[in-house]
Amino acid sequence: MQKFSSLPLSKALLENLDSLNYQQMTEIQAQSLPVMIDGRDVIAQAQTGSGKTAAFGLALLHHLNVKRFRVQTLVLCPTRELADQVANEIRRLARTIHNIKVLTLCGGMPFGPQIGSLAHGAHIVVGTPGRVEEHVRKGTLKLADIQTFVLDEADRMLDMGFQPTIDAIVDQLPAKRQNLLFSATYPAEIEQLSARVLSQPVMVKVESKHDQRSIEQHFYQLDSNDERLGAVVTLLMVHNPNSAIIFCNTRKEVDEIATELRSQGVDALGLHGDLDQPKRDSVIVRFANQSVTVLVATDVAARGIDIDDIELVVNYQIAHDPEVHVHRVGRTGRAGGSGVACSLFSKREAHKFADVQAYLNCDFEAERVPPRPAGVELKSAVMATLRIDGGKRDKVRPGDIVGALTKGGDIAGNDLGKIQVFPNCAYVAVRKRDANLALDKINRGKLKGRKFRAMRIRGE
Ligand code: AMP
């Protein structure tokens, strides 16, 4: 393992890494940072959790000239959640560099404030392709000074149909620039994109960080497709998880399964690309804060969700691509925990089962779905989510919400869950038994000296 201090990074960056307690480089960092610091283009195949954000984050900060107040770095991400995470990680890494400005430009957000922020200037822009391209087209974002161009989760951006948009952005970039492409998988489309955008790239690849051994994998063979839904319910009963993701291939399946599970009393919600941004936020927020136990999702929609303690992954079908399978399964057993992954397949999909085994170089037994256990009551969510109609724009901070809810001592700070503040609203998770009391406190009391309305969000 290598230490960051072996790299020619500035003292300020190294000291900050120390204070963040980043001691050793992760594998992707050790492989990619020396070449990126050297100015080479890089294609890095690495997954979420590998430390990839800090890898390109440190490289772009190393090359940045803070005194020159121009947009020098552009990072494109597939989703707003990922763009926010990436921007936050870059800000953390840049804590010791004064006056550095990192701006996010994402779709689903109002345009006007973004134009205002751009007019004030920034060093680094992190955004989703559609919105970035719109700003470029309107002339509100100028790309003439870009030195580093990063494509994060490039495979996912192509899956989401962003290729023409990315091409339009690349057309406006200066010819002399460094290109860094990060992708979990490396299909032919990525190879073609790399050939168009990158110049003599160095390839680095790390195997999935998730230790496959910490994940218990089962493959269940079904006699007919009609058995799938019942099998999902049985597996939920067998494992009775606090938190589970069910991966499906289509949006229609997501809706069907989520509806069916809800009708059976499971705290389940569906997530797919047809949801508008506020709906999507509300689903992800509730799954992450444990107000919902089961998330039914397509691969594209689930990308960028960074949640550590998922106990069970169910593949409604085995993924078409074994790399996608590994990615799905790697959602559980993270951060040193153990996890269970169950994949359902019919005879017609036997080839996919064979592909996964060949890819993992591992023999798995094709099992039968276990019998449904009697008398099991599925765990319901422990938390409830309140939505407050005030957010960053009203200068509402998590501390204000904690203050309002714990005032009087009847709700303890420990009983509050995740708090997430968006531009126009905020979400707070409270124990279910405290939900009405908490609602009352917000609706009758004040935040920042002002009245705000709160409601409990339930159902879809
Ligand atoms: P990522 O793969 O970028 O999603 O990063 C996964 C997590 O690892 C993030 O929470 C980072 O803050 C953390 N991280 C990244 N690099 C290091 C490191 N060298 N040492 C410890 N933690 C790290």
pLDDT at 404 over 60: yes
SS3 content of the chain, % helix, strand, coil (to 5): 40, 20, 40
449 or 16, which is more confident? Answer: 16
The residue segments making up the domain with residue 441 are 383-457
**Strands (DSSP E) along 77-132, which ranges?**
102-105, 124-127
For residue range 331-367, what is the model confidence (pLDDT) as tens digits?
A: 887 655 668 999 999 999 999 999 999 888 788 999 9
Residue-level pLDDT at 403: 84
CATH code (residue 220): 3.40.50.300
Residue-level pLDDT at 3: 93
394: three-class secondary structure by DSSP: helix
What is the Å distance from ligand 1's center to 247 Cα? 25
| Mean pLDDT along residues 288-309 | 84
Residue-level pLDDT at 265: 87
Residue-level pLDDT at 59: 98
In sequence order, the β-bridge partners of residue 419 are 428
In sequence order, the β-bridge partners of residue 245 are 295, 313
Q: Whose CA is nearest to atom 21 of ligand 1?
A: 22
Mutation to probe ligand 1, out of 4, 25, 89 (largest number of atoms < 8 A from CB): 89
pLDDT at 75 over 90: yes
- The two most distant CA atoms of the chain are separated, in Å, by 68
What is the Å distance from ligand 1's center to 91 Cα? 14
Q: Which letter, b or e, does each residue of 135-173 get, where b requires 16 or more Cβ atoms within 10 Å of its Cβ? A: bbeeebbebeebbbbbbbbbbbbbbbebbebbeebbeeb
* Distance from the first to the final alpha carbon of the chain: 46
Q: For the sheet with 102-105, list strands across it.
A: 102-105, 124-127, 73-76, 148-151, 178-183, 42-45, 202-205
Same domain, 246 and 320: yes
Q: Whose CA is nearest to atom 20 of ligand 1?
A: 22
Q: Tokens in use for 49?
A: 């959790």
In sequence order, the β-bridge partners of residue 343 are 219, 315
What is the total count of domains within the chain?
A: 3
Q: Which letter, b or e, does each residue of 317-347 get, where b requires 16 or more Cβ atoms within 10 Å of its Cβ? A: bbbebbbbbbbbbbbbbbeeeebbbbbbbbe
pLDDT at 304 over 70: no
Ligand 1 contacts (CB < 6 A) are 22, 25-26, 29, 48-54, 89
Q: Whose CA is nearest to atom 5 of ligand 1?
A: 51
Same domain, 176 and 57: yes
Decide if 148 contacts 181 (C-beta within 8 A).
Answer: no
| Mean pLDDT along residues 290-298 | 94
Quick one: DSSP state of residue 447?
B
* CA–CA gap between residue 311 and residue 427 (Å, rounded): 24
Quick one: DSSP state of residue 17?
H
Percent of the chain with pLDDT over 70: 96
In order, the DSSP letters of 228-255 are HHHHHHHHHHHH--SSEEEEESSHHHHH
Decide if 57 contacts 201 (C-beta within 8 A).
Answer: no
Residue-level pLDDT at 15: 95
284, amino acid identity: I
- The last residue of a domain, from among 333, 367, 401: 367
Same domain, 69 and 179: yes
For residue range 154-166, what is the model confidence (pLDDT) as tens digits?
A: 988 887 778 999 9
For residue range 423-442, what is the model confidence (pLDDT) as tens digits?
A: 899 999 999 999 999 999 99
352 in a structural domain: yes
Same domain, 44 and 191: yes
In sequence order, the β-bridge partners of residue 217 are 341
Decide if 341 contacts 328 (C-beta within 8 A).
Answer: yes
pLDDT at 184 over 90: no
Same domain, 105 and 231: no
Residue-level pLDDT at 209: 43
Residue-level pLDDT at 147: 98
For residue range 230-252, what is the model confidence (pLDDT) as tens digits?
A: 999 999 999 999 999 999 989 99
For residue range 306-319, what is the model confidence (pLDDT) as tens digits?
A: 676 789 999 999 99
Residue-level pLDDT at 45: 92
Average confidence score pLDDT of the chain: 91
Residue 217: enclosing H or E segment and its boundaries?
Answer: strand 215-222
Same domain, 78 and 187: yes
